[in-house]
Amino acid sequence: MSSSNQTLRLGSTAPDFQSDSSNGPISFHDYIGDSWAILFSHPDDFTPVCTTELGAFAKLEPEFAKRNVKLIGLSANNTDSHKAWIKDIDEVTGSKLSFPIVADPERKVANAYDMIDYQDATNVDNKGLQLTIRSVFVIDPKKKIRTILSYPASTGRNTAEVLRIVDSLQTGDKYRVTTPINWVKGPAVSDEEAKTLFPKFRIIKPYLRLTPLDLEE
């Protein structure tokens, strides 16, 4: 485990750790392997916003898997709590949560990743110890941190935005491009717009559209 006072920035190596999780012991860098990873913390098991978030991430897991991204949750609760709560999450949200949730009761990983805030005195456990905030770390296969998001306990995240960030990073890496505000992966021109722009436009497949470029008069 790296020291807890190391400042993590975009481009930092994600601190490695060994921990127990809902799926058994985890060695973080080994778990990532050649994939990307989303390490994300929540404040507390058996709480409403966290239940909706973890269910939403679990339902979106196939989309992350398509992009070679592994999910891994974290909170200060223990593994028994995580395992019992996962049953509730699946029941309430219709998910089948299978990714590991790290058990970090001593806040070792939370401190290494600075997943604790200054402001929310209500986000503490029954011993007054600070609970984790809603952090998101997007980590690439070289174990470099590529995005850091921090949300307060009061505000649930947006899973589509996390997926959009992955798409932007992977597209940028592949084509050496940058993506503008509100960019989402997909055709930049809708079929309807294309029909007006390109009179001879044909849809071969939903993902394959052709037009001759004999547009000059």
Which one among 123, 170, 179, 211 touches ligand BEZ, defined by CB under 6 A? 123
User: Based on the number of CB atoms within 10 Å of its own CB, is 33 exposed (0-12), middle (13-18) or buried (19 or more)?
Assistant: exposed
Cα distance between residue 14 and residue 174, in whole Å: 22
Q: Is 50 part of the annotated catalytic residue set? A: yes
Decide whether 85 or 137 has the Cβ nearer to ligand BEZ: 85
50 binds ligand BEZ (CB under 6 A): yes
Q: Which stretch binds ligand BEZ (CB under 6 A): 1-9, 47-55, 141-149, 183-191?
A: 47-55
Among 17, 38, 41, 43, binds ligand BEZ (CB under 6 A): 43
Q: How many residues bind ligand BEZ (CB under 6 A)?
A: 9
CA distances from 53 to 58, 111, 153, 155, 174 (A): 9, 22, 12, 10, 30
Q: Which residue has the tokens 């005195």?
A: 121
Stretch that binds ligand BEZ, among 45-53, 57-65, 97-105, 163-171 (CB under 6 A): 45-53
Residue placing its CB nearer to ligand BEZ in the complex, 14 or 116: 116
Cα 149 to Cα 33: distance, rounded to the nearest angstrom: 23
Q: How far apart are the first and last CA of the chain?
A: 66
Q: Does 88 bind ligand BEZ (CB under 6 A)?
A: no
| Residues within window 146-175 making contact with ligand BEZ, judged by CB under 6 A | 153-154
Q: How far apart are CA 214 and CA 75, in angstroms?
A: 59
Residue 40 CB, shortest distance to ligand BEZ, in Å, is 13
Q: Could you please report the per-residue DSSP string of 15-33?
A: PP-EEEETTS-EEHHHHHT
> Per CB under 6 A, which region of 17-25, 48-56, 109-117, 170-178 contacts ligand BEZ?
48-56
**Could you list the residues that contact ligand BEZ (CB under 6 A)?**
43-44, 47-50, 123, 153-154
Catalytic residue IDs: 50
